[in-house]
Amino acid sequence: MDQPKAKRSIMPLADLATPMAVRVAATLGLAEHAGTEGATADQLASRSGTSAAALRRLLDHLVAVEVFELTAEDGRYRPTELGAQLRKDAPEGAKPLLDITCAGGRAELAFVELLDVMTDGAPAYPRRYGRDFWTDLDAEPKLRTTFDAQMNWRFREQAPLIARNFDWSRFPDIVDVGGGDGPLLIEILRAHPGVRGRILDLPPAAAAAGGRLKAAGLDDRASAVAGSFFDPLPAGADAYLLSDILHDWDDEHARRILAGCRRAAAPDAAIVLIEPVRGHGADTAIDLFMLMCFGSKERTVEELTELATGCGLAFRGAAPVTTGRWALEFTVAAES
C-alpha cells in the first residue's frame, strides 16, 4: 500500500537565518581568516574585528548547515568544501554576490523592501539606500570595482562562446556600448583578427578598459571612450553592441538607449543585443531581482523585438549564443 506523501513545510523556503549567516560570513572573510588549518572563535573574532561570543553562535549555525566544521578537540572552525566557495579566490566567484559591502551583495539586501515594490511598482534599491544603483556605483569606488569584477566573472565562460558563436567578422568596426572594462569585446577581437572596436562606458570603467586592452596587446585595434549611452554615441560604426544592458532598464530608458544607437548608426549598420531571455536562461528569481533593484525586467525575444522595432529598427534575426544568452540583430529600418 502506498504511503501518504509527507506534507511539505513552507518554512525552509522562508528561512532568513541561513542566507544572512552565509552573507555575513562572506563579508567578514571567515573562510580566508580560518584558512586550511582552521581557527578558534576567539581567533576569528580577533581577525575579523567582531565579538567572540556573537561570532561563536554564527559559526555554530554555519556548522549546522555544513558550511563550516568544528573540531571538538581543539575548538577550531574550518570551512567545508561548501564553505570554501566563500573565499575571494574560489572559482565559483560567489563572494562578490554575497559580501554585503560589494555591489551584488549590497543590492540583494534591498529585497527587504519587496513589499513596498509590490505596492507601488517602484524599485527597492533607492528606497533602501537613498539613490539608485548606478548613482551608488558612481559615488562609491569599491562598488564600481566590485561590479566590474562581478561582470567579468559572469562573462568568463560566456564571453568566449559569444565571440565564437556569432559572426562578428562581418563588422570591421564595433562600438561596445556600456561595455564595462571590456570582457566581451576583448574576446571578440581575439576571435576575429579583422575586427576593430571601441568600448564606451563611464569614466572609471573606460579607464579600466583602456588598461585591459593594453595588457591584452589589443590597444592597436581598440580603444576606450568615456561617456554615457544616454548621450550621443560615436557615429559611423558597423555595429553597435549592447550586452546585458537593456535588462537593467525599464522600457522608457531602454528605448532611449536603442534610439541613441539608431541615431549613431549608418543605414547599413547593425545593432546587436546580447541578452538573457525570459524562459531561456533568465529565470523567475533574476526577473524578480531586476524589478526589485532596477524597476526593470527580463524580456522575451518578442518583447525585445517590439522595443527595438518601436525605435525605428528592423529585425534581422535571433539565436542563442550560449546557454544563458541570445543574440538579436537589428538594422536601421528603411523609411516608408
Average pLDDT over residues 18-23: 97
Query: What's residue 336's pLDDT?
Result: 47
Average pLDDT over residues 272-297: 92
DSSP 175: E
CATH of 100-150 among 1.10.287.1350, 3.30.70.250, 3.50.50.60, 3.30.2010.10 = 1.10.287.1350
Query: What's residue 279's pLDDT?
Result: 82
Burial-class residue 7 by CB neighbours within 10 Å (0-12, 13-18, 19+): exposed
Query: What's residue 1's pLDDT?
Result: 57
Query: What's residue 333's pLDDT?
Result: 73
DSSP letter string over 248-267?
GS-HHHHHHHHHHHHHHS-T
Q: Is residue 335 predicted with pLDDT exceeding 80?
A: no
DSSP letter string over 126-161?
HHHHSS-HHHHHHH-HHHHHHHHHHHHHHHTTHHHH
Q: Is residue 238 predicted with pLDDT exceeding 80?
A: yes
The band of 111, judged by pLDDT with boundaries at 50, 70 and 90, is: very high
Q: How far apart are CA 284 and CA 150, in angstroms?
A: 20
Average pLDDT over residues 53-62: 98
Neighbours of 48 (CB within 10 A): 19
Q: Which three cell numbers stand for residue 298?
A: 527580463
Q: How far apart are CA 225 and CA 101, in angstroms?
A: 28
CATH of 17-86 among 2.30.30.280, 1.10.3720.10, 1.10.10.10, 3.30.1200.10 = 1.10.10.10
Q: What is the CA radius of gyration of the chain?
A: 23
Burial-class residue 116 by CB neighbours within 10 Å (0-12, 13-18, 19+): middle
Q: What is the pLDDT of residues 88-108, one digit of tens each?
A: 999 888 898 999 999 999 999
Q: What is the pLDDT of residues 240-266, one digit of tens each?
A: 999 999 999 999 999 999 999 999 998
Specify the DSSP element, H or E, that contains 78.
strand 76-79
Query: What's residue 151's pLDDT?
Result: 85
Q: What's the mean per-residue pLDDT of the chain? A: 94
Burial-class residue 84 by CB neighbours within 10 Å (0-12, 13-18, 19+): middle
Residue type, 212: R
Strand order across the 173-177 sheet: 222-226, 196-201, 173-177, 239-243, 270-275, 326-332, 313-320
Active site residues: 247
Q: What is the pLDDT of residues 260-274, one digit of tens each?
A: 999 999 888 999 999
Q: What percent of the chain has a predicted confidence (pLDDT) above 70?
A: 98
The band of 150, judged by pLDDT with boundaries at 50, 70 and 90, is: confident
Q: How far apart are CA 272 and CA 20, in angstroms?
A: 39
Q: Is residue 3 predicted with pLDDT exceeding 70?
A: no
For the chain, the domains span 17-86, 100-150, 151-332
The band of 8, judged by pLDDT with boundaries at 50, 70 and 90, is: confident
Average pLDDT over residues 305-316: 95
Secondary structure of residue 100 in the 3-state scheme: coil
Domain 151-332: give its CATH architecture: 3-Layer(aba) Sandwich (3.40)
Average pLDDT over residues 202-217: 94
Q: How far apart are CA 26 and CA 28, in angstroms?
A: 6
Residue 336's beta-bridge partner residues? none
Q: What percent of the chain has a predicted confidence (pLDDT) above 90?
A: 85
Polymer length in residues for the chain: 336
Average pLDDT over residues 157-164: 94
Distance of CA 206 to the CA centre of its chain: 17
Comparing 17-86 with 151-332, is the CATH topology the same? no
- Give the contacts of 39 (CB within 8 A, at least 6 positions apart): 33, 47, 76, 77
Query: What's residue 2's pLDDT?
Result: 64
Neighbours of 230 (CB within 10 A): 11
